[in-house]
Chains A and B, each alone.
Chain A
Amino acid sequence: MPAENDGLTRCPKPMAAPRLIDQPFARVCLAGFLSWLLPGAGHVAIGCRTRGLILMVTIAITFWTGVAIGGVQDTVQPRKRFAWFLAQTCAGVHGLAACSWSERARAAPNALENANPSYASVDTGVVYSGIAGLLSLLVILDAIGRADAPVEQAAASAGRSARERAP
């Protein structure tokens, strides 16, 4: 099995990728942008597929669980909860989709029917989705760190992993 491996070092085997990703600056920018756009996608792009999929699924579940608990109209509200909204936008496409949906739901003719009277539910939902966004920030920084790790360090780590596996 190729070295999917190795903590904070660069994942040494990028997927079949365009030549652009071989350049260090482009690799860092691409990893950071993809991690913001869809948390975990940056890890997948630089070769840490399993790690990226775990992060992707966990953050998506956490974010949308929050939206389900609090209701989309009240959980993502840029005007009433700006600080939480900033945290939610760190989840990239999740935050932006929920915000767009929230705006449309509030503008709908039957918006009052769906108005949410439960502050406990809204608070819980906002905390869930906000923490999912803050976890995405951690994922973005981790993806950038891995993309920026020196190749020698990655090779050494991969060699160590191979030695550990050897009988």
Chain B
Amino acid sequence: MTTPLTALLGYVAIGGMWRVAMLIPLSLSVAVVYKTTRCRQLRDVPMAVLGLWLTIVLGMYAVGVAAWLVFMTCVEWTAGR
């Protein structure tokens, strides 16, 4: 089978920071769908999407950094004992 669909049989290797970066397009699609269903006027959608997208991305990364800091603090603390 040599159609372009063959590409979907394999996979795209994702690792390291790329895995973290994959949050960005996913949160964009969540923001687009949510705001498209909620906004009363379609012309309000782009700005609403931008606001929600930034909120999700910054919030999720902030939570991630906070969890990482707590983890590293615990590691240091247990190593020091």
Contacts and interface: CB of A to CB of B under 8 A. Distances in A.
A54 B13 contact: no
Interface in B15-63: 15, 19, 22, 25-26, 29-30, 32-34, 36-42, 45
What size tier do the contact residues of chain B reach? Answer: 20 to 34
Contacts, number: 91
Interface in A45-75: 50-51, 54-55, 58-59, 61-62, 64-65, 67-74
Interface string A21-34: 00000000000000
A157 B41 CA distance: 11
Contacts of B41: 5-7, 161
Interface in A85-126: 101, 105, 114, 116, 118, 120-122, 124-125
Nearest to B1: A108
B77 interface: no
A138 interface: yes
Contacts of B39: 7
Secondary structure at chain A's binding surface: helix, strand, loop or mixed? helix
A28 B8 CA distance: 35
A70 B39 CA distance: 33
B33 A116 contact: no
A138 B33 contact: yes
Contacts of A69: 11-12, 14, 22
B29 A71 contact: no
A74 B9 CA distance: 9
Contact of A138 (B11, B22, B25, B34): B34
A5 B43 CA distance: 9
Q: Which 5 A-B pairs have the closest CB atoms?
A: A7-B40, A71-B11, A142-B37, A62-B29, A121-B11
Interface of B: 7-15, 19, 22, 25-26, 29-30, 32-34, 36-42, 45
Interface of A: 4-8, 50-51, 54-55, 58-59, 61-62, 64-65, 67-74, 101, 105, 114, 116, 118, 120-122, 124-125, 127-128, 131-132, 135, 138-139, 142, 157, 161
